[in-house]
């Protein structure tokens, strides 16, 4: 829904030239209905205990967690409380900095590390290193993804698909971009897929194959296509992949297959609703917002 929701949102927004408000308004015809249906799906699977949801926390486990929480609160020092307050403030800074492009993404991330370590009194490199240990398997997989996508871009393996899509009618282009992005994002990392496709769409704009308005609607189709169907597998979503490769996964018996199964209701609902919105509501709502002055034509 916003630029700071996913990494590819930032990449796509920068390629099109949208600010925080522009991004939200352009994507709203798809993202708002998807949000409503996603929340309803969340309630439904919990209510009827489908797909492994709705399991109650055992009373002994809850009591242990509650006792641990009470003990932690009672032992918490003033310094620890201040550290938590500063962490919250730094979190707010991260969102604001990303939303308003106050610096490049890498510099913002670096500023977060510096501020967090400075204001919480962490000065030992070994202590900082422990925070990155959990992410090492995840980082290794990301490196593999980078290598694969680099080969795809270098060999122009997406070029035939792009040419095929751009030969279709303007409204069909949106649906095709959404479907191709969704399919690839479900089996590969959505950030890389979104990056490749938005750059190809921008090339088509610069060559005169599409106009600015069509380019912006294609950006919405690419963005939603990489975000929604990608929840199908841990490959598509970095958060899923990080959890799967974490030390927590074996403790809670979280396997690849179980994640796919539990994500299935969300995959079906979000992908279907997103596709219908791209196909039915995106063009008329965008045109209406342009006519009423809510959106400004570039």
| Per-range mean pLDDT, top range of 133-137, 186-190, 275-279 | 275-279
Domain-wise residue ranges, the chain: 7-53+134-292, 56-123
pLDDT at 30 over 90: yes
Q: Residue 298 — pLDDT band, cuts 50, 70, 90? A: low
Instruction: Name which residue leads in pLDDT, 9 or 236.
Output: 9
DSSP assignment string, the chain:
--TTSSHHHHHHHHHHT--HHHHHHHHHHHHHHHHHHHHHHHHHHHHTT-TT--PPPPHHHHHHHHHHHHHHHHH--HHHHHHHHHHHHHHHHHHHHHHTT-S-HHHHHHHHHHHHHHHHT---HHHHHHHHHTTHHHHHHHHHHHHHHHHHHHTTTTHHHHHHHHTS-HHHHHHHHHHHHHHHHHHS-HHHHHHHHHHHHHHHHHTTSS-HHHHHHHHHHHHHHHHSGGGGSTTT-HHHHHHHTSTHHHHTT--HHHHHHHHHHHHHHHHHHHHHHHHHTHHHHHHHHHHHTSS---
pTM for this predicted structure? 0.82
What pLDDT is stored for residue 297 in this prediction?
A: 65
pLDDT at 122 over 90: no
What pLDDT is stored for residue 152 in this prediction?
A: 76
- What percent of the chain is modeled with pLDDT above 70? 99
């Amino acid at each position: 829904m916003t630029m700071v929701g996913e990494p590819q949102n930032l990449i796509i927004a920068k390629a099109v030239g949208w600010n925080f408000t522009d991004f939200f308004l352009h994507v709203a015809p798809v993202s708002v209905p998807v949000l409503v249906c996603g929340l309803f799906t969340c309630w439904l699977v919990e209510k009827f205990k489908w797909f492994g949801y709705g399991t109650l926390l055992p009373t002994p486990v809850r009591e242990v967690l509650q006792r641990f929480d009470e003990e932690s609160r009672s032992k918490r020092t003033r310094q620890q409380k201040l550290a938590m307050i500063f962490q919250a403030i730094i979190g707010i800074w991260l969102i604001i900095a990303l939303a308003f492009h106050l610096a490049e993404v890498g510099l913002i991330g670096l500023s977060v590390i510096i501020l967090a370590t400075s204001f919480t009194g962490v000065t030992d490199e070994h202590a900082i290193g422990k925070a990155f240990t959990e992410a090492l398997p995840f980082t290794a997989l990301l490196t593999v993804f980078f290598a694969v996508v680099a080969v795809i871009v270098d060999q122009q393996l997406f070029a035939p698909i792009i040419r095929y899509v751009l030969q279709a009618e303007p409204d069909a282009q949106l649906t095709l971009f959404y479907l191709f992005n969704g399919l690839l994002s479900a089996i590969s990392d959505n950030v890389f897929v979104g990056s490749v496709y938005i750059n190809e769409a921008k090339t088509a704009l610069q060559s005169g194959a599409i106009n600015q308005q069509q380019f912006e609607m294609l950006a919405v189709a690419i963005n939603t296509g990489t975000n929604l169907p990608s929840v199908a597998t841990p490959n598509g979503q970095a958060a899923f992949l990080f959890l799967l490769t974490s030390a927590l996964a074996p403790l809670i018996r979280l396997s690849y297959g179980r994640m796919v199964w539990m994500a299935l209701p969300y995959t079906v609902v979000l992908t279907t609703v997103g596709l219908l919105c791209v196909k039915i509501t995106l063009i008329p709502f965008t045109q209406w917002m342009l006519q009423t002055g809510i959106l400004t034509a570039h």
